[in-house]
Amino acid sequence: MTGTIFDIKRFSLHDGPGIRTTVFLKGCPLSCVWCHNPESQSTEPVLLRRPELCVRCWRCAAACPQGALRAGAEQARARDGARCVACGACAEACPSEALTRVGRAVEARALIEEVARDRLFFDETGGGVTFSGGEPLAQPEFLMEALSLCRQEGVHSAVDTSGFAPRQVAREVAALADLVLYDLKLLDPVAHRRYTGASNEEILGNLRALAAEGRRLEIRMPMIPGITDTAENVEAACLLIGSLPQKPRVRLLGHHHAAMSKYSRFGMQHRLGKVEDPSPDRLAEIAARMRRAGVEAFV
């Protein structure tokens, strides 16, 4: 079984227990305005441009079969997006890595063999592999084979998901994973559609179903100032979590601007606009409010 990934990050400390290796799968059905991985949104490979590394040798222009790059122009502005098909010929020809093709096909078994090299760190710290994205449930067959192989290899597995998937897919994936990191963004359906481009009905239904089945869950809430950190959204989240047969703990994830530069490098537009990152005091205040409501929350 073959899937498409765009990155593997080792020694991750925030994607589940212990030291973990996080595998990022490409493709996402949502379109969150605060997305930190814009390269994950499309299922197809995309080109990463780093003009500061360009040595202006113009081998990329000569190698491009579509004629999408023009020699002699500023590298950052030389690409014709209408012609470019992200075939990667320019990246292969680039001697300075000013152009990189992001996204590659990988077989599930080869992937697990690669990440299992970190088993020593997993065994020493209680860590394992986390499948993130993008939305890993958007490649269900590949994900489930990878999870099955993790079980065969005795490697702890976690899936970081928005929960936006058919019910059966969510249930089958959760049954194979040791932990589900469940992203909960907005409880109000109108606001959810406005900021993510999709309904939250399926997301909330899947969360209730997995909790009812006793799956091990951790809820992760991105704290976007003025959008997800409002009193109304936090209160609604507490009510939902309080109604579940098991009450998962909640990790609050503060928004940060680390991904802003990615958008221009991928030729994309960041739609969130200017927002201030939430202060540690603000995040601690929200966590305390949730704990007073009976929800185990931490930053």
Q: What confidence tens digit (pLDDT) does each residue in 215-249 have?
A: 999 999 999 999 999 999 999 999 999 999 989 99
Environment class of 170 (CB within 10 Å of its CB; exposed 0-12, middle 13-18, buried 19+): buried
The confidence score (pLDDT) of residue 80 equals 63
In this prediction, residue 81 has a pLDDT band, given cuts at 50, 70 and 90, of: low
In this prediction, residue 270 has a pLDDT band, given cuts at 50, 70 and 90, of: confident
Q: Indicate if the pLDDT at residue 150 is higher than 80.
A: yes
Q: Indicate if the pLDDT at residue 109 is higher than 80.
A: yes
| 192-212 exposure pattern, b = at least 16 Cβ within 10 A, e = fewer | beebbebebebbbebbeebbe
Kindly state the tokens that stand for 217.
């869950």
d(CA 208, CA 167): 11
Q: Indicate if the pLDDT at residue 148 is higher than 70.
A: yes
Q: Indicate if the pLDDT at residue 203 is higher than 50.
A: yes
| Chain segment 49-67, per-residue pLDDT in tens | 888 898 888 888 889 998 8
In this prediction, residue 160 has a pLDDT band, given cuts at 50, 70 and 90, of: very high
Structural domains of the chain ordered from first start = 2-43+103-298 (3.20.20.70), 46-100 (3.30.70.20)
CA distances from 129 to 7, 69, 268 (A): 13, 39, 30
The confidence score (pLDDT) of residue 77 equals 44
Q: Indicate if the pLDDT at residue 184 is higher than 60.
A: yes
Kindly state the tokens that stand for 178.
């040791």
The confidence score (pLDDT) of residue 46 equals 86
| 70-84 exposure pattern, b = at least 16 Cβ within 10 A, e = fewer | beeeebeebbeeeeb
The confidence score (pLDDT) of residue 76 equals 40
Quickly count: other Cβ atoms within 10 Å of residue 294's Cβ: 10
- DSSP H/E element including 181: strand 179-183
The confidence score (pLDDT) of residue 117 equals 92
Region of 55 (left: φ > 0; alpha: ψ -120 to 50; beta: rest) is: alpha
Q: Indicate if the pLDDT at residue 33 is higher than 70.
A: yes
Put the strands of the sheet holding 128-132 in their side by side order.
104-107, 2-12, 20-25, 128-132, 156-161, 179-183, 217-223, 249-254, 297-298
Kindly state the tokens that stand for 168.
């059966």
